[in-house]
Structure 1
Amino acid sequence: MTDVLTFGEAMGALRAEGPVRLGGPMGLSVAGTEATVAIGLARLGHAARWIGVTGADEVGVLVRCTLRGEGVDTTGSRVDAGASTGLCFLETRLAGTTRIGYHRAGSAGSRLHADDVLNGFADGQTRILHVTGITCALGPGPRRAVIEAVAMAKAMGVTVCLDVHHRPALWSRADAAACLRPLLRSVDVLIASDDDLAVIAGDATPAELLRFVDQVVLRHGGAGEGTALTRLERRHQPARVVSAVDPTGAEDAFVVGYLSGLIDGLGVADRLYRAATVAGFGIATVGYWQGLPTRAELPLLGDAYGRPL
C-alpha cells in the first residue's frame, strides 16, 4: 500500500553562499516540491512514492539515488537520454532571504507523460494522490498527467490533494487559473498560500470553496502558520517559534506535516499542529528537505500543549 503518490520534476540544486555572479564554492543537492514532500513523508514513516523523469546524466543519478536513499519508492520513474536534468541556483542575498533561479526549460522533467503516472497507481493500492500547480506549469505533457491522474484517482476513490503552489516564473495567473479551477470538483484537500488563493478561488472565499472540496488548508507565510476549514469546523494554528535560517522548502514541509496527520487519522487541529511543527524544522535548517524530521525527532521543538504529533 502506498500512502501518498506524487509526481513532478526533481532537479539538481546549486547553492552559493553569496551572489552567484561573484563566483565561489557551491554545494550540490536535490530540489523539487514533490520530491521534498515524498522525502518528508518517508522520514515520518509513511510509504511515499515519487514518479518523474530525469536525464541520463550525473545530476539525474544524484536525484534518483537521493530519493531512494531517503526511502522513497521511485517505481515508474524513467530516464530520458534526450534531455538534461533541470537545475536551480540558490543564493543568499540577505539573512534569511534566498533568491532562486531556474534552468529547467526543455528539461527531462518536462517530458513526463500521463502514462508514466497512470501506470503508477492503477493497481488500486494508493491512499492519497498529491499534485501541484508546478507540475501543470511544466508543459502540455505534465499538465495532461495531472488532469488524467486526478480523474483516475477520483474514479478509484483515492483522496486527491492539490497544492496550488503558483510560480509566476513558470506561468501566468490566468493560465494557472484556467488549468487548475476545473480540477476543483475532483479535489478533496485543497492547499494554498494566501497569495495563491485567488488563482484557484477567484472572488470566492475559502468557505465558499467547500462547495467543491472537503478541506481547504491555507498557509500564512512560510513559517508554518496555517488555517484549515471543513464543512464542520475552522481551525487556526500559529507558527512554531524557531530561529528562521532558510525559507526554502518550508511550504512543502507544511504539506508534509498536514498529509502525515491526515494519514494517521488526526483531527484537523492536530493535523495543523503537525504541519506547523514540520514547517518549523524546515525553516530552522538549510535546504529544501535536509532538515526535515523523522517521527522520533518531532518532539524536539517541544510540545507545551501535550498534543499528539
Structure 2
Amino acid sequence: MGNRTEIVTIGESMVLFQPYTGGTIKYTPLLTKSVGGAESNLAFGLSRLGRKVRWISRIGDDPFGELILSTLAGEGVEVTHVEKDHEHPTALYFKEAKTPGDPRVHYYRKHSAASQLAPDHIKHEWFEKARHLHVTGITPALGTHTFAFIKEAMEEAREQGLTISFDPNLRRKLWDEQTARKILLELIPLCDVFLPGLEEAEFLLGEKTTVGYGEEFLRMGPSVVAMKLGEQGSIGFVGSHVFEQPAYHVDQVVDTVGAGDAYAAGFLDEWLEEDKPLNDEALITSIPRALKQANVTGALATQFPGDWEGAPTKDEVRQLMNKEHLVTR
C-alpha cells in the first residue's frame, strides 16, 4: 500500500467526556476525555487495519481542537488538510450509561467549527491520488450549507475517479425526520457503497423485507449495499447476489457507540483489497469476506469504553476470522 493516501473521510470530530467510573454525569466527580465522531472513528479503525487515511474537517483554534489533531495523528491518520477556525469552537459531547451497553449522549456542537463547512471550503487536493471517499449523514444534518458541502464533495470525488461509500448514520437529535429522510435519499445515488442499518432502512423506505430493502437501495444507484442487522449479523447485496453473514458474538458489550463505524472500517478495508472496476467479478466475490470482517471489527469495538478505542488491528481480526461461517444464497 505504500505511503499513498487511500481513503479520505470528511466530517466533524468532537471531544468526548464520560464518567471515569461509569454511571451518570450528574453524580460523578471525575470525567475522562477522548475523541469521538463517526468519520474520525472510521479513520481510527482503518488506520489500525493498516490503511492510509486522510481526515478532513474544521476545528476550533482551541485546546480541544489540538487534542483531536494529536489523537488522530498519533494513530497514524493524516490531518494536514484540517483547517482551524478562529471564530467557532471545537464541538464537545458527553456520554453516560447507568448500565453497560447503549449509553445516552449529549451534543454541544451548535455553531461549532465543523458546522461551518460549506462548498467554498472544498479543495481539489483533498482527493488527489486517493482511491476512496467515505461520508456519513451526520455532516449534512448540521445545516443546509453542510448538506451542500458534503454533496459537492461527493461530486468532486467522483470527478477525480474515487469510489464513494455513504453511511446514513441517522442522528434524530440533529434534525427533523422529514428533512433527514429527504436529504439522505438524495445522497444515496451519489455513492457506490451504501452502509445502512436495518432501522435506518426502515426509516428511509418504510416496512419491507430485508431483501426488499437491499433491492430498492441498489435501484437508487449504489453498486453495493451492506446492511447491519444487529444480533443477526449483516447482509450484502451486489447485482443479483445476496450474501448473509452471521454475527460475531462477544462475551460482554461495554459500549456500542462507534460499533457501526468499526463495521464500516472492516468492510471497506476488505472491499478495497480488490483494486478493480466496480463491475469486475472480483469485487462481487470480495463481498462475503468484507461482511465477515465487518462483523468482527464491529463486534470487537463494543468491548471497550470509548468510541474507537476498541477498534482492532489487522492481526487481531485475522486471529478471529476463521471462527465464523458464511451463509450465501
Q: Where do 1:31-70 residues align within 5 Å?
A: 31-70=36-75
Q: Does 1:233 align with 2:220?
A: no
Instruction: Report SS of the residue matched to 1:246.
Output: coil
> Among 74, 79, 83, which residue is 1:74 paired with?
79
Q: Does 1:147 align with 2:166?
A: no
Q: Does 1:13 align with 2:16?
A: yes
- 1:14 offset after TM fit, Å? 0.3
Q: Where do 1:200-211 residues align within 5 Å?
A: 200-201=204-205, 205-211=213-219
How high is the TM-score relative to the length of structure 2? Answer: 0.87
Instruction: Report SS of the residue matched to 1:131.
Output: strand
Partner of 2:94: 89
Partner of 2:168: 164
> Among 288, 299, 311, which residue is 1:292 paired with?
311
- 1:131 offset after TM fit, Å? 0.8
Q: Structure 1: which amino acid aligns with 2:304?
A: T
How many positions carry a matched residue from both structures? 305
Cα 1:113/1:192, change in 2 over 3 Å: same
Partner of 2:109: 104
**Off by >6 Å, runs of 4+ in structure 1:** none
Q: Structure 2: which amino acid aligns with 1:175?
A: T
Instruction: Report SS of the residue matched to 1:102.
Output: strand
Instruction: Report SS of the residue matched to 1:93.
Output: coil
Aligned-pair identity in percent equals 31
Distance 2:121 2:71 in 1: 20
Partner of 2:193: 189
Q: Does 1:257 align with 2:281?
A: no
Distance 2:203 2:54 in 1: 28
User: How large is the RMSD of aligned CA atoms in angstroms?
Assistant: 1.9
Q: Structure 2: which amino acid aligns with 1:9?
A: E
8 Å contact kept, 1:77–1:116 = no
8 Å contact kept, 2:15–2:68 = yes
Instruction: Report SS of the residue matched to 2:268.
Output: helix
Task: Give unpaired runs (5+ residues) of structure 1.
Answer: none
- 1:61 offset after TM fit, Å? 0.6
Distance 2:166 2:17 in 1: 28
Residues 190-236 of structure 1, C-alpha deviations (whole Å, 9 max, x = no match): 11111111444457732122122111111112x68211111131111
Instruction: Report SS of the residue matched to 1:248.
Output: coil
Q: Structure 2: which amino acid aligns with 1:35?
A: S
Distance 1:132 1:120 in 2: 21
Residues 12-47 of structure 1, C-alpha deviations (whole Å, 9 max, x = no match): 000111111113211000000000001110111111
Partner of 1:270: 289
Structure 1 window deviating more from structure 2 (8-17 vs 235-244): it is: 235-244
Distance 1:117 1:239 in 2: 38
Q: Structure 2: which amino acid aligns with 1:208?
A: E
Q: Does 1:126 align with 2:130?
A: yes
Task: Give unpaired runs (5+ residues) of structure 2.
Answer: 275-284
8 Å contact kept, 1:53–1:78 = yes
8 Å contact kept, 1:164–1:200 = no
Instruction: Report SS of the residue matched to 2:196.
Output: strand
Q: Does 1:2 align with 2:37?
A: no
> Among 276, 294, 300, which residue is 1:281 paired with?
300
- 1:94 offset after TM fit, Å? 1.6
